[in-house]
């Protein structure tokens, strides 16, 4: 789809084509099936991958609380948070490798070996007893293999859909929300109310994720011709304000967004909510996220993808500030549901807005990989920074204030990207 403009300065996107004057010859648009068996099987494959990747990370708050109370009780909140942050970092940064590989070789050659290695990382985590072992098995190996499967799965869905892309991505990303409901409840029951112990509790999850990995590897496919004969990274993308501004804004939003996912159980216990209920708050948050991804995708088709992404980011920032005054169980349940809904909308939509800036379907993987490479540093640093604040001040309030401020600032920058992309159009 990508042709160069008359001055040769940048590739023309789908939106550029739609705005081109009628008296100019328009290049042919790429084919997006917008449905069909292969397209919806790609959504199913992505759903399974999201369940295993983002869904597993969404439940890290349970690990954070459990490690602090048992296996790693000699470590600080910030140190333990590094395990999850390293996992997020590598999940995103591995897109720098798997994104270009997806454009060149398709998804299956990446998914099959990397899915097996991810399951191996889960099984190795079940055997860990010391801090450095958790860093290596759960953080590094789990994160890298997560990322090598995550980006191709997202790209596959974006190659099959354009008009229905927000809805398709919302359905696919709902897998991580459902996992975020199942994993905390399952871990809480197995760790605290059974004789399985830590090792077998984690291995049970590993076997579930193995079954989903087999399904995803069997049904995933690509709808774009393989890109050959060009550099793996499309550095010209960084010349487009709509691309780099939204990534800068999402960097700040993600800095803030993982804070509740990691620290809600610890915060709940600090205001005298029971350990059982504090674990269930993560499940409640992810239940809200499930509806946010599904309804947010449907809403984006009506009011615009960037409009929905910006609005959801603003609401996330406001809700984080509201968190400062919540000390009751009812308030925490309401906060978890609402924050889950709007953060789920952000997570479900951001791949679609990044894909909008790509010139061709077989460039989406590289655009996604480069963006996730930058966002990986947000996942790496955000929760350790806030964890250090919690440890230093002996309170969650400074960390919550920090998260609220950066979330609203990030939303403002995403709005700037929307203006660069669509100007004064109401729906964008």
pLDDT at position 25: 42
Lowest mean pLDDT across 264-268, 276-280, 410-414: 276-280
User: 10-26 in b/e burial notation, b at 16+ Cβ within 10 A?
Assistant: ebbbbebeeeeeeeeee
CA angle 398, 401, 403 (to 5 degrees): 110
From its phi and psi, is residue 43 left (phi > 0), alpha (psi between -120 and 50) or beta? alpha
C-alpha to C-alpha distances, 393 to 202, 216, 405, nearest whole angstrom: 33, 45, 18
pLDDT at position 401: 95
Taken in order 206, 207, 208, 213, is the CA torsion positive or negative? Answer: positive
Q: Domain 34-221+233-422 adopts which CATH fold?
A: Growth Hormone; Chain: A; (1.20.1250)
pLDDT band of residue 154 (cuts 50, 70, 90) is: confident
Highest mean pLDDT pick, 93-102, 190-199, 206-215, 290-299: 206-215
Lowest mean pLDDT across 63-72, 165-174, 264-273, 418-427: 418-427
What pLDDT digit, counting tens, does each position of 248-257 carry?
999 999 999 8
Structure token digits, residue 8: 């040769």
3 state SS of 22: coil
**What percentage of the chain exceeds 90 in pLDDT?**
31
Question: What is the CA 363 to chain-centroid distance, rounded?
Answer: 20
Lowest mean pLDDT across 12-21, 196-205, 307-316: 12-21
What pLDDT digit, counting tens, does each position of 72-111 carry?
988 887 788 889 888 888 888 888 888 888 878 888 888 9
Global pTM reads 0.76
Of 146 and 423, more confident: 146
Q: Is the pLDDT of residue 323 over 90?
A: yes
pLDDT at position 314: 96
Nearest to 409 by CA among 300, 239, 254, 289: 254
């Amino acid at each position: 789809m990508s042709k160069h403009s008359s001055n040769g300065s940048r590739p023309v996107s789908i939106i550029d084509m739609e705005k081109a004057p009628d008296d100019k010859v328009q290049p042919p648009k790429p084919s997006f099936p917008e449905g069909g068996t292969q397209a919806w099987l790609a959504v199913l494959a992505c759903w399974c991958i999201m369940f295993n990747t983002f869904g597993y990370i969404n439940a890290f708050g349970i690990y954070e609380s459990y490690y602090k109370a048992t296996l790693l009780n000699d470590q600080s909140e910030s140190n333990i948070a590094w395990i999850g942050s390293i996992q997020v970092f590598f999940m995103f940064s591995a897109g720098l490798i798997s994104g270009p590989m997806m454009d060149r070789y398709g998804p299956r050659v990446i998914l099959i070996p990397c899915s097996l290695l991810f399951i191996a990382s889960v099984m190795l985590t079940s055997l860990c007893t010391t801090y450095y072992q958790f860093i290596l098995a759960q953080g590094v190996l789990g994160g890298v293999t997560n990322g090598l499967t995550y980006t191709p799965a997202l790209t596959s869905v974006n190659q099959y859909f354009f008009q229905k892309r927000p809805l398709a991505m919302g359905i696919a990303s709902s897998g991580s929300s459902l996992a975020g409901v199942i994993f905390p409840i399952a871990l809480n029951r197995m760790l605290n109310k059974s004789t399985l112990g830590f090792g077998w509790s984690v291995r049970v999850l590993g076997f579930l994720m193995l079954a989903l990995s087999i399904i995803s590897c069997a049904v995933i496919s690509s709808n774009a011709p393989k890109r050959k004969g060009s550099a793996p990274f499309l550095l010209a993308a960084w010349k487009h304000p709509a691309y780099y501004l939204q990534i800068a804004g999402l960097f700040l939003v993600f800095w803030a967004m993982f804070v509740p996912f990691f620290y809600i159980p610890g915060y709940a216990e600090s205001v005298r909510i029971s350990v059982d209920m504090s674990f269930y708050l993560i499940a409640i948050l992810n239940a809200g996220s499930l509806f946010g991804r599904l309804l947010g995708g449907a809403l984006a088709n009506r009011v615009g993808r960037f409009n929905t992404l910006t609005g959801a980011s603003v609401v996330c920032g406001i809700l984080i500030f509201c968190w400062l005054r919540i000390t009751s169980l009812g308030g925490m349940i309401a906060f978890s549901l609402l924050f889950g809904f709007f953060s789920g909308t952000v997570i479900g939509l951001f791949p679609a807005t990044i894909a909008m800036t790509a010139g061709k379907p077989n460039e989406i993987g590289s655009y996604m990989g480069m963006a996730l490479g930058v966002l990986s540093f947000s996942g790496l640093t955000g929760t350790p920074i806030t964890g250090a604040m919690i440890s230093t001040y002996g309170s969650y309030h400074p960390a919550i204030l920090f998260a609220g401020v950066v979330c609203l600032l990030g939303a403002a920058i995403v709005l700037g990207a929307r203006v660069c992309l669509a100007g004064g159009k109401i729906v964008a």
